Amino acid sequence: MNTTTSIADVLTHGALAILAYAILGVLLLVAGFYVIDLATPGRLSKVIRTDRNPNATVLAASSVAGVGLVVAASIWSSGGALREGLLATLVFGLVGIAVQTLGMVAFDKVAGISVRELVRETTLQPAAVLLGVTHFFIGLITAVAVI
């Protein structure tokens, strides 16, 4: 049995692993975006692109950044085990999305910051910045918990 691995095998395996993680990461980022979309009135992409709503943009960007942190931490902690790493990334990414959603609901109930009302505002609101920072740090906290 040949115990040596060629550089071509290593590169092929590495390239396929990168591709698999990238595809999963993008799918999780899109899922995170659509969860925020469900919490906002109207189509979020239209509210951002056409209406140019800064509050919706801050909330969507911070949510996607938070999910990205969780995905990156999951990949980092996989230790090179591709199947286990992909499964962990999927599970932890979904948990990160769920935690951010719970954070949004909690802010709505505890602090009285309604995402639906916030996105109806046409000028940047301090509450959007606060909620955006919260999304980012929920992602960071979840990411650190993964590592």
Q: What is the token pair recorded at 82?
A: 């591709």
Question: Can you give the pLDDT at residue 80?
Answer: 72
User: Looking at the chain, how many residues does it have?
Assistant: 147
**What pLDDT, in 10s, does the model give residues 62-82?**
989 998 998 899 888 887 788
pLDDT of the residue at 104:
80
Determine the 3-state secondary structure of 34 from DSSP: helix
Identify the pLDDT of residue 3. Answer: 59
Q: Tell me what pLDDT residue 2 has.
A: 53
Sign of the torsion angle spanned by Cα atoms 115, 54, 47, 122: positive
Neighbours of 57 (CB within 10 A): 19
Res 114: pLDDT: 85
Quote the pLDDT of residue 116.
85
For 2, other C-beta atoms within 10 Å of its C-beta total 5
Q: At what angle are helices 7-39 and 82-106 packed, to 10 degrees?
A: 20
**Mean pLDDT, the chain cut into blocks of 10 residues (147 residues total):** 72 88 94 87 89 93 91 84 89 89 83 86 93 90 88
Instruction: Look at the block and give the residue holding tokens 């999780």.
Output: 28
Rounded Cα distance, 89 and 51, in Å: 34
The pLDDT, as a whole number, for residue 71 is: 87
